[in-house]
Structure 1
Amino acid sequence: MHTPSPSPAAALLDAVRHDGFSFATADIMQPLLESAGELTDWPAFAASWNRLGPDAYLAAKGRFRRRRHATFMARAQGPVELAAHQAHYQSLHYNALQGDIQRWFEPIEPAVANGASLRSILGFCHGFFGALSPGITQWHVEVHQFRIEASSGTAGEPTPEGSHRDGVDFVLVLLVDRHNIASGTTTIHTPDGKPLGDFTLTHPFDAALIHDPRVFHGVTPVTPLVADEPAHRDVLVVTFRAAGNGL
């Protein structure tokens, strides 16, 4: 008797349940996002990475990263709603480099925060992560736009804190664009450092889905393919954690 293959969403859910993570190529991820809503403003959404402010908290270490940040809230059976702008905070337990600091970043632009693409991405995450943890009644959601820039003299470091956990329940890492860069491979490890998998986000909509309490993740430094041309890696990171859980 032929057993039908699971749907792409079901296969990803099974992988995250079993392994603590899953990688999704663009041909899988984009239709899943479109099933949650429209991506009609994607060109403008992607272009907004050109207007990110510098990450001042890394300036002293010479690592050039640009970002914007926004916070949302969601009930299990309600919409994902934009919250008041607030600091991003992680304890030293989860971020040895920048823990125990209230980090204030420029807010994600209103047109982006309320736009179709981000709302569809958040809608997908709400349904997907909610299916993995149906007992959570309210979510604290954070959204980060990151641009990592590299030059011929300095590699860009997507995760300067090294392999880490974010101190949340679930993480989506979605590639928006990469230009003139090599490497930038996402790596997954057990808490004691054993490699579990790796995947290079190469095309827009390539993604990693991570159950943060179970595995550590990191990204290898990026370097320019052509030394004297601009080089960057643009990603959207969305985190979901049960509301009320401290970091």
Structure 2
Amino acid sequence: MSDLTDDGVHLLPAAETARRLGASPGTWDRFRRHWEELRVDRARTGAHARTLHRHGHFQVSLTGAFELLAHHPRGDARAEALTDSFATDPLLAELFRLLLEFAAELDDATLWDVRVHPIRELAAAETAAAAARRPEVTLAAWLLVTRDNAEGGAGVLTTSAGTPVRTVAPDEPGTLLLTDYRRIPHARSGIRPVAASRPALRDLLEVTFTPA
């Protein structure tokens, strides 16, 4: 049992994430290449630009079996579907099985509605960035995939009433942050460059589990 049930927050270090996923360095390298297929969101201007996150919608059963559903993005009608190679990546399947263990600590659902959002953030200066509130979500997870020339980006965890609970700042790729999203909505601050001569980059994978 993790501190997810007690505190509503659990941070899995990169080494532990890799061990539980059975991921080798080569596996991570293959997985992070999916972020190179994201496209820049031209609707954002100024110092901060964020690529259009792709979107995947799955149903996951208690056995770990999962099915990719039709593409109907929520919140951003421009978001494109996951590529076939991303949706069928063995590491994504292992991630579903790992997250299912945590989701089962929070709810006894037999079938889960799972949303997958790979996100790339680019910044030439620090700007605010906050996650949208989705009260129906039970488990929310953020996997740090890549950081390059980036600092900042701490996760500020608060209760639904806005009371600060914890601040986490994952900086090692592979770190996995999980929250009981019914109790602990998650917001993250913006990133900023370490060297001003080139932009900061952060790749994240956001996954949410909701009882189907």
The answer to whether the aligner puts 1:143 opposite 2:131 as a matched pair is no
The superposition leaves residues 81-137 of structure 1 with CA deviations (integer Å, 9 ceiling, x where unpaired) of 211111224xxxxxxxxxxxx534111111111011111111111232124312x12
TM-fit CA distance, 1:190: 1.6
- Structure 1 residues 18-97: aligned runs within 5 Å: 18-34=6-22, 41-55=27-41, 59=44, 63-66=48-51, 67-77=53-63, 79-89=65-75
Structure 2 unpaired stretches of 5+: none
Alignment root-mean-square deviation, CA: 2.3
Contact 1:53–1:106 at 8 Å: present in 2 too? no
Relative to the length of structure 1, the TM-score reads 0.77
Aligned to 2:192: 223
Contact 2:64–2:97 at 8 Å: present in 1 too? no
TM-fit CA distance, 1:47: 1.6
TM-fit CA distance, 1:181: 0.8
Amino acid at match of 2:119: F
- Mapped to 2, the partners of 1:142 and 1:61 lie a distance apart of 29
Deviates more, 1:119-128 or 1:164-173: 164-173
Aligned to 2:84: 110
Amino acid at match of 2:50: R
Aligned to 2:5: 17
- Structure 1 residues 194-233: aligned runs within 5 Å: 194-233=163-202
- Mapped to 2, the partners of 1:78 and 1:149 lie a distance apart of 34
The superposition leaves residues 52-106 of structure 1 with CA deviations (integer Å, 9 ceiling, x where unpaired) of 12346x53787411111111012233502211111224xxxxxxxxxxxx53411
SS of 2:54's partner is strand
- Structure 1 residues 98-137: aligned runs within 5 Å: 103-134=77-108, 136-137=109-110
The superposition leaves residues 158-194 of structure 1 with CA deviations (integer Å, 9 ceiling, x where unpaired) of 4265xx4554111110100100011100111122222
Residue from 169, 174, 177 that aligns with 2:146? 177
Superposed structure 1 runs of 4+ greater than 6 Å apart: none
- Mapped to 1, the partners of 2:206 and 2:141 lie a distance apart of 6
- Mapped to 1, the partners of 2:148 and 2:95 lie a distance apart of 22
Report % sequence identity.
Answer: 27
TM-fit CA distance, 1:143: 0.3
Contact 1:148–1:158 at 8 Å: present in 2 too? no
Equivalent residue pairs, number: 211
Contact 2:47–2:123 at 8 Å: present in 1 too? no
The superposition leaves residues 8-53 of structure 1 with CA deviations (integer Å, 9 ceiling, x where unpaired) of xx3xx2x11111111121122221222xx88853212102212212
Deviates more, 1:60-69 or 1:189-198: 60-69
CA, structure 1 residues 177+156, in 2 after alignment: closer, same or farther (shift >3 Å)?
farther
SS of 1:103's partner is coil
CA, structure 1 residues 165+85, in 2 after alignment: closer, same or farther (shift >3 Å)?
closer
Contact 2:143–2:175 at 8 Å: present in 1 too? yes
Residue from 155, 162, 168 that aligns with 2:126? 155
Structure 1 unpaired stretches of 5+: 1-9, 90-101
CA, structure 1 residues 63+229, in 2 after alignment: closer, same or farther (shift >3 Å)?
closer
